[in-house]
Structure 1
Amino acid sequence: MNDVFARVGGWPVEIECKPDMEKSLERIYAWYAGEVLDRPPVRFSRHNAEYEIADSSGKKWPSLKDRWFDAEYQLEKFLAGLRTKKFLAETFPVYWPNLGPNVFAASFGCPYIFGEVTAWAEPVLEELPAVNAMPALDWQCEYVTKLDQLTDMALEQSPGRFLVGYTDIHPGLDWCTALRGTEALLMDLYDDPGAVHALCGSCMKDFFSFYDHFDAKIKNQKQLSITWMNIPSYGKMHIPSCDFSAMISDEQFEEFAMPGLIKECEYMDHNIFHMDGKGVARHLDNILTLPKLQGIQWVQGMGEDLPILQWIPMIKKIQAAGKGVVVDLTLDELESFISEVPAKGIYLCIATGSVEEERAVLKRLERW
């Protein structure tokens, strides 16, 4: 076994369109450890870029849900893109079984609405449930069944060709928000905090079982743990988050969000917190204390939240805490960013227009 695989406790992963897979994994594991190998890791696509892929099949469906549920179409759409794309640096060919960000909540009985590029849950709890009447995950529901099909179908065709990820999973307060509704849950924090604690904690056992169910499928095929952020691990890789926290105080975050987030992180081998906007970033000090946290994905937002350079003090604060930062840059921001920020701990996501641009970026990063 090669030294890199022995060192990280992994196994060789051979992907035809990714001959430098071993070196890319070595860079990522250096990043997990807070080190820089030869340059910072870089993924040549930006956050949510997967939602911008146009449908050119001409196929029609009775509803948007039918399109999302068409497993053959979803896989073929991915394979069509695979045939025309080059995967330089830490850009990986990943098929991601995706039924939207609230599919975990939908598996507990929430009505689920499919849009063009995302899906959302409608609240199902008119009041906070009693401790002995908490919602339970329905393993036989159509969403779990479909995720199984999407995953199994992709795994059959994946050997030597691409990686297969696991779906987006949100437990904790974001799960409570989906089941209860945002306004109702905000009032619950004041009216019945004990019941919120009980509801928030009730999903954790199902979350771990749900995660392990899909992780086992992937690992049984000698695949890597990977999901929508496209950063792989030989162990259990997870993206903890709490978008709901943009609407609550630091004290409420510490009381209601942190207990579940701590359990999520402790269960995993590698964790990258999805910090979605400046509202969530208000809780950075607490987030930085999470156990087994390798990094934070900073999602800066649009409009007045651009450009990235205004967030450099926060990025440096994360670096100073010994954590990595996953950050989106445009090509025209790269030089200014490099001049202001140390390379250690940075994981870049950059949208490019050509392989030539990507190669030029790599040459520049080697001199960072």
Structure 2
Amino acid sequence: MNKKRQAVSPPLEGLGEASWKSNWEESKKHYTDWWNGKGLVLSMWEHLQEGVKPHATVAPPADAKDLKQYWFDPQWRADNLHYQLSRSSFMADIPPVANTHLGPGSLAALLGAELDGGPDTIWIRHKPGGEMNLKFDENHPMWKLHVDLLKACKANAQGNYYVGCPDLVEGLDVLASIRGTQDVLMDMIMQPDELAQQLQQINEVYFEAFDRIYNIIREGDESTFCYFSLWAPGTVSKLQSDISIMISEDDYRQFVQPYIRQQCQKIDYTLYHLDGVGAQRHLDALLEIDELNAIQWTPGVGEPQGGNPCWFDLYKKILAGGKSVMANWVTLAELEPLLDTVGNQGLHINVDFKNERDIEAALKIVEKYRSPL
């Protein structure tokens, strides 16, 4: 596995003058600095449309006939995303990204799990009695669905926006979607060597799928990832192990850390999604991965969200460990105290914007911290 290249300035290639984001060159500089542990990114997860002047005249698609078409009809999805993006705000550092996700962990659908479209999301479900084949199959119908959706979105984009990499997920989370969480946890005790072999196979499938996706969605060297609307001047991915909240630090270092490290070594820019208060015990193991660029913190349901002062020491520890930070669901009122306490270097702040007036107010705050003292 080759060590990934160092973070560099944005290449000249990428979206051209047709981009629906007028300040994109400035934002790319903010993102590139952030990947390198410097400066600030002010953005939001997904997009808002309220009161936004359309970038182009785009007709909406006809209403979806059912949830199957809403989620799994590639052309309908692409046309709907095209319409939504045409009237979305890209102020501040909000990147123009078509969200092509097929559920949180769609890699599992290529290996034996089922996709189930609900009103608000796609669920990845364990298929009892289903076969597990941990090999990449370019003829698998779920892989064809991924490719058809990405290509339909790319054809619509025409340089106006990026097409994001779906939220593939990896490792134990994928295996739990295929086999069931309880069986995977038991394997840590009963057959750890076989489990390690399966995790390596999943990484190999991940890399094959990821490389093929990158070659479809790339704009020059640049690419984007759907989850958290990530942009980078190279390959980029969000990594995770949500099941790790159920395992010990030793098991994390044995069954998670080595495979996350492989991804960080191969992919140019990586963000780890640290999910749940109980997962904080694995932070030291994450900070040991030299090639990991950044860590995002999700407190979990019922907990104070990313802008609450109770997490400021956590952010300081991440920054002191040499990683950039992404703080999510920050409110306008929390923005200035966060910057005052944690600092103005290496922070990606996703604010819960409701309209463009909120964005303008946040920009006035952030610009004070971006300006040289």
TM-score by length of 2: 0.86
| Partner SS, residue 19 of structure 1 | coil
Q: Deviations over 1:162-199 (max 9, x none)?
A: 11111111221111111111111111111111111111
Aligned-partner residue type, residue 284 of structure 2 = D
Counterpart residue number, 1:123: 126
Aligned-partner residue type, residue 226 of structure 1 = T
- In the TM superposition, residue 59 of structure 1 has moved relative to its aligned partner by 2.5
Between the aligned partners of 1:142 and 1:61, the Cα distance in structure 2 is: 22
Among 5, 13, 16, the residue aligned to 2:15 = 13
Among 20, 26, 31, the residue aligned to 1:28 = 31
Counterpart residue number, 1:203: 202
Counterpart residue number, 1:53: none
Question: Quick one: structure 1 residues 218 and 79, their matched pair in 2 at CA, closer, same or farther if it must change by over 3 Å?
Answer: closer
1:224 aligns with 2:225: no
Between the aligned partners of 1:57 and 1:159, the Cα distance in structure 2 is: 18
Q: Is the 8 A contact 2:11 2:233 kept in 1?
A: yes
Question: Quick one: structure 1 residues 60 and 155, their matched pair in 2 at CA, closer, same or farther if it must change by over 3 Å?
Answer: closer
Aligned-partner residue type, residue 322 of structure 2 = G
Between the aligned partners of 1:361 and 1:265, the Cα distance in structure 2 is: 32
1:76 aligns with 2:79: yes
Counterpart residue number, 2:312: 312
| Partner SS, residue 303 of structure 2 | helix
Counterpart residue number, 2:351: 350
Q: How many residues align?
A: 348
Question: Quick one: structure 1 residues 108 and 190, their matched pair in 2 at CA, closer, same or farther if it must change by over 3 Å?
Answer: same
Between the aligned partners of 2:248 and 2:179, the Cα distance in structure 1 is: 19
- Report the more deviating stretch, 11-20 or 326-335: 11-20
Q: Is the 8 A contact 1:110 1:179 kept in 2?
A: yes
Question: Quick one: structure 1 residues 26 and 105, their matched pair in 2 at CA, closer, same or farther if it must change by over 3 Å?
Answer: same
- Percent identity over the alignment is 26
Aligned-partner residue type, residue 361 of structure 1 = A
Between the aligned partners of 2:246 and 2:302, the Cα distance in structure 1 is: 20
Counterpart residue number, 2:53: none
User: Which runs of 5 or more residues in structure 2 are unaligned?
Assistant: 1-6, 49-59
Counterpart residue number, 1:335: 336
Between the aligned partners of 1:350 and 1:181, the Cα distance in structure 2 is: 35
Between the aligned partners of 2:194 and 2:47, the Cα distance in structure 1 is: 38
- Report the more deviating stretch, 297-306 or 154-163: 297-306
Between the aligned partners of 1:354 and 1:121, the Cα distance in structure 2 is: 32
| Partner SS, residue 304 of structure 1 | coil
- Report the more deviating stretch, 106-115 or 246-255: 106-115
1:162 aligns with 2:161: yes
Between the aligned partners of 1:12 and 1:69, the Cα distance in structure 2 is: 28
| Partner SS, residue 362 of structure 1 | helix
- In the TM superposition, residue 284 of structure 1 has moved relative to its aligned partner by 0.3
Q: Deviations over 1:261-283 (max 9, x none)?
A: 11111001111111112122220
Question: Quick one: structure 1 residues 253 and 6, their matched pair in 2 at CA, closer, same or farther if it must change by over 3 Å?
Answer: closer
Counterpart residue number, 1:288: 287
User: Which runs of 5 or more residues in structure 1 are unaligned?
Assistant: 51-55
Question: Quick one: structure 1 residues 69 and 126, their matched pair in 2 at CA, closer, same or farther if it must change by over 3 Å?
Answer: closer
- Report the more deviating stretch, 16-25 or 65-74: 65-74
| Partner SS, residue 224 of structure 2 | coil
User: What is the alpha-carbon root mean square deviation over aligned residues?
Assistant: 2.4
| Partner SS, residue 59 of structure 1 | coil
Between the aligned partners of 2:143 and 2:255, the Cα distance in structure 1 is: 28
Q: Is the 8 A contact 1:242 1:280 kept in 2?
A: no
1:99 aligns with 2:102: yes
- In the TM superposition, residue 49 of structure 1 has moved relative to its aligned partner by 7.0
1:59 aligns with 2:63: yes
Q: Is the 8 A contact 2:126 2:178 kept in 1?
A: yes
Between the aligned partners of 1:66 and 1:154, the Cα distance in structure 2 is: 15
- In the TM superposition, residue 22 of structure 1 has moved relative to its aligned partner by 0.9
Between the aligned partners of 1:12 and 1:189, the Cα distance in structure 2 is: 44
Between the aligned partners of 2:230 and 2:47, the Cα distance in structure 1 is: 15
Question: Quick one: structure 1 residues 238 and 25, their matched pair in 2 at CA, closer, same or farther if it must change by over 3 Å?
Answer: same
Between the aligned partners of 2:242 and 2:362, the Cα distance in structure 1 is: 32
Aligned-partner residue type, residue 258 of structure 1 = Q
1:103-252 aligned at under 5 Å gives the runs 103-124=106-127, 135-219=134-218, 222=220, 224-228=222-226, 229-252=228-251
1:351-366 aligned at under 5 Å gives the runs 351-366=352-367
Q: Is the 8 A contact 1:300 1:308 kept in 2?
A: no
Counterpart residue number, 1:259: 258
- In the TM superposition, residue 6 of structure 1 has moved relative to its aligned partner by 8.8
- In the TM superposition, residue 134 of structure 1 has moved relative to its aligned partner by 5.3
Question: Quick one: structure 1 residues 124 and 82, their matched pair in 2 at CA, closer, same or farther if it must change by over 3 Å?
Answer: closer
Between the aligned partners of 2:257 and 2:163, the Cα distance in structure 1 is: 30
- In the TM superposition, residue 99 of structure 1 has moved relative to its aligned partner by 1.1
- In the TM superposition, residue 136 of structure 1 has moved relative to its aligned partner by 2.0
Between the aligned partners of 1:57 and 1:8, the Cα distance in structure 2 is: 35
Q: Is the 8 A contact 2:114 2:125 kept in 1?
A: yes
Aligned-partner residue type, residue 353 of structure 1 = K
Q: Is the 8 A contact 2:103 2:124 kept in 1?
A: no
- Report the more deviating stretch, 239-248 or 167-176: 167-176
| Partner SS, residue 240 of structure 1 | strand
Aligned-partner residue type, residue 63 of structure 2 = K
